[in-house]
């Protein structure tokens, strides 16, 4: 999942970015409204986290312009104002949820997951390809009943593959969905992580699920009966 954070408190924004990346998310950050609006209108995100008080334009205006542009990305507003009027105003602009500062990081994660499940029709509570299973709620992965332990980035990569079975995913697509806007697509990091993933989910099992399409990228192929 790829997230956008628009937050002018740099220390808080950077802290959220680090924490969310440790959870396996790809995160882009904007420290003021103008760049945040540009990113929201020009990139595909699974969830946008907007601080209401970010300057020029504020979070409410960013949300409004997203909806005017027919962008349905779920919006979670961050606000220091715990008034009913502010919450209603935020929801009326097209936001999906709000969180009052200060908040627990665990609650932020729970709300992000709830928004992503609600908004993406392709999200299933249980993903399965052949004998490989993934539970997005518990983040448990198993093959043939054997639990497989993955790092946060390996998990994010596997979830991306399992949500797009039989689709060739280029390195550019994988970088956009699993890493962030600053990722250097000319490195071999993606190939390294695909290899890590293969060693864990394919090496000791049949059939092999992840395949290389030379010159195009990778595909998780559903075995034909």
Q: How far apart are CA 153 and CA 167, in angstroms?
A: 20
Domain boundary among 62, 87, 119: 119
| Band of pLDDT at residue 125, cut at 50, 70 and 90 | low
- Residue 74 sits in a domain of what CATH number? 3.40.50.2300
Shared domain check, 85 and 8 = yes
| Residue 54 burial (CB count, 10 A) | 25
205 lies in which domain range? Answer: 127-220
What integer pLDDT is reported at residue 185 of this predicted model? 64
Ramachandran bin of 135, using left for φ above 0, alpha for ψ from -120 to 50, beta for the remaining angles:
beta
What integer pLDDT is reported at residue 122 of this predicted model? 44
In a domain, 184, yes or no: yes
Q: Which helix (H) or strand (E) holds 195?
A: helix 189-201
Shared domain check, 169 and 100 = no
Q: Which residues contact 116 (CB under 8 A, 6 or more apart)?
A: 1, 46, 47, 74, 123
> Of the candidates 156, 136, 140, 118, which has an alpha carbon nearest to the alpha carbon of residue 21?
156
User: How many separate domains does the chain show?
Assistant: 2
* Structural contact between residues 180 and 119, judged by C-beta atoms closer than 8 angstroms: no
| Residue 181 burial (CB count, 10 A) | 14
Q: Specify the pTM.
A: 0.62
Shared domain check, 176 and 78 = no
What integer pLDDT is reported at residue 20 of this predicted model? 94
Percent of the chain with pLDDT over 90: 54
In a domain, 13, yes or no: yes
In a domain, 147, yes or no: yes
E runs forming strands in the chain: 2-6, 26-30, 47-51, 75-79, 97-100, 127-129, 132-135, 140-143, 146-148, 210-213, 217-220
Q: Which tokens in the block code for residue 15?
A: 């802290």
């Amino acid at each position: 999942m790829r997230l956008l954070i628009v937050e002018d408190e740099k220390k808080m924004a950077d802290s959220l970015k680090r924490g969310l990346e440790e959870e396996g998310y790809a995160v882009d950050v904007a420290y003021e409204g103008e760049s945040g609006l540009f990113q929201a209108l020009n990139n595909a995100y699974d969830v946008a986290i907007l601080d209401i008080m970010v300057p020029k334009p504020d979070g409410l205006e960013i949300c409004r312009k997203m909806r005017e542009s027919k962008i349905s990305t779920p919006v979670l507003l961050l606000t220091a104002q715990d008034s009913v009027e502010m919450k209603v105003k935020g929801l009326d602009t097209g936001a999906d949820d709000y969180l009052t500062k200060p908040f627990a990081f665990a609650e932020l994660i729970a709300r992000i997951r709830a928004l992503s499940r609600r908004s993406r029709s392709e999200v299933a509570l249980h993903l399965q390809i052949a004998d490989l299973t993934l539970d997005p709620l518990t983040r448990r992965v198993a093959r043939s009943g054997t639990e497989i332990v993955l790092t946060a980035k390996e998990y994010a990569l596997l979830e991306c593959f399992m949500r797009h079975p039989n689709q060739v995913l280029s390195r550019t697509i994988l970088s956009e969905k699993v890493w962030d806007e600053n990722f250097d697509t000319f490195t071999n990091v993606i190939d390294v992580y695909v290899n890590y993933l293969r060693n864990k989910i394919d090496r000791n099992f049949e059939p092999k699920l992840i395949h290389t399409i030379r010159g195009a990228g990778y595909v998780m192929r559903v075995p034909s009966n």
